[in-house]
A and B are shown apart, each in its own frame.
Chain A
């Protein structure tokens, strides 16, 4: 499934040896191109685990359902907190639902 990178938001994690999405992708699919922006080697090889979307510090990546499977266009965006995650989902009719839950317990020392 295609991860779509917004080139206006993406800066290839300037200053880092490796961009966050490159680091996160379990399929070694993301890379920073000569234009300084992140790209995906092969959209067809994406597992849509959304690890890159969660890691991106500039909210520059979006996971999109291929049109052959789902209609244009719905969005799902995670906002990562310290101990929680908030998901905002908008369907093709413009209906939005927000989900928020704790994804980390306070850790014992």
Chain B
């Protein structure tokens, strides 16, 4: 069922222009890439948690979604789409619907790693035939860049500000992809809009067309929150991947597989340097903090290699 990339990029967009996300926001790139994996003949219901994506894509009376769309609240995209999917199953059984529908929920890292974790976990555990996509920009961007449990250690955010005594966020990020893998659902993957998009396209297609629950964690840069030059979106993504800060892998029916291995693993500094949120780390007295981050990246990467049998 491998996705034909050439064919897929020609598919009409299901998330239109005219939304109000910031210029260069990774969220729209992530959404388009995921939706492109939908077969044109299949219908979809898309759900979104409260956050940047939702408030800028469906401002009454305009919508940027070509498919049916539902926003309920911040923490319940998982449960909301569970309900839609349950309704679909029963209405189909009763012969009231005959089209094929796919169900996709989008949530930011705040709505997924934090406040929405329970509802996401419940939806996955119950086995609804749906895909939950986290567009992970590492903070609560919509409310003005507060730390989330996905925020990288030492990032400067408005609730983990870098000050004279505290150099930004004090904890390493939660590894939600692994938490989701521990649900032993049919498909879990970590990906990013990257290069020719084949990684995200293929994973999105597998996630959507695998029966049962699937989870995609997508690295999604935010020029506002990360304080980098807007046109550098793709460069930042590549650096996250090549420093092994954001490894690309999938867990299919319990089998772990690395889907990209950098030819040359870059130092974490390369990912940190272009981003204003890490500026304070480059003061000479903070060199040891970067070393600490490097150690943790290395440790997590080694563990992942082992899981993937590399």
On whether the two chains bind one another, the answer is no
